[in-house]
Amino acid sequence: MLSDALTQKIKSFNLDAESVEDLARRTIEEDLDGGVDLTSLSTIPEEKVSIGEFRARKSGQVAGVVVAAAVLEVCGITDYQVLTPDGHRVEVGQVILKATGNTRKLLLAERTALNFLGRLSGIASLTERWVNEIANTSTKIRDTRKTTPLLRELEKFAVRMGGGVNHRMSLSDAALIKDNHVVAAGGVTAAFKAVREKYPQTSVEVEVDTLEQLQDAINAGADLILLDNMSVEETRAAVDIAGGKTKLEASGGLTIDNAKAYASTGVDYLAVGALTHSAPVMDIGLDFIEQEG
């Protein structure tokens, strides 16, 4: 079981503590593959104790500290300090997490903890870059469902740590009528009506490819409209047509270089799948430090 303090910290980020603990256990089990750490058992005395620092080797936005802490606890390391919390920026050489404990256990936790820290901090750092790029506009950077299978909750948490906002977590959270739904249903209006009739209390977003479809979606009463692969000029026209009647989300063809141009149109969201499917891993390492005496 995770400590009460860590459990509460995980919950404060709207994460499921039991799921985080289970993931930590399963990844450690994967690393051992039913055996033991052959190298550590061969080279390190059983009673050896070390102090290790998880240190940033590149600057960026930190995410996944609570997950790394869960890995430490699962491996039997309970004496640790969080020096750079989730959602904070870290510079090169700065310590994120410091742990003291059995050397073999520290090394067992090392790679799994770093995998989570690096992956999630990479997502948070890329998100922060997009957020900074459109600073001083009203537009928000939003993620998609293009996440690593079974890691969606953590990756969307990382987006939040970078200053972005989350789209729906699952298919059951809200309806998003995309082009294939429109074709299958016989049009935007027909698709919207079908969803609204079956799930009257559900938020409904509609994807449109043209300004004509946009008007149909507005007339139907869409809560949110996704502008698929529209140019900056078309997006600006869509904002004018919508006139605040519904929220608009630009998607497709977005890059860090054109993000500000799209945000300047007044669109409410930029949907950026790259936040989770293409974020580079942030370089973080574990270094043992010399102990006096």
Residues annotated as part of the active site: 111, 146, 178, 207, 228
Q: How big is the chain by its Cα radius of gyration, in Å?
A: 23
| DSSP label of 201 | T
| DSSP label of 275 | H
**Measured between alpha carbons, how far is 267 from 109 in angstroms, rounded to an integer?**
44
10 Å CB burial of residue 196 (0-12, 13-18, 19+) is middle
Q: Can you list the pairs that 105-108 forms with residues at least 24 positions away whose Cβ atoms lie under 8 Å?
A: 105/75, 105/76, 105/77, 106/50, 106/52, 106/75, 106/77, 106/286, 106/288, 107/37, 107/40, 107/44, 108/28, 108/31, 108/32, 108/37, 108/40, 108/75
* Residue 142, both tokens: 């939003």
Q: Is the dihedral of CA 163, 169, 171, 174 positive or negative?
A: negative
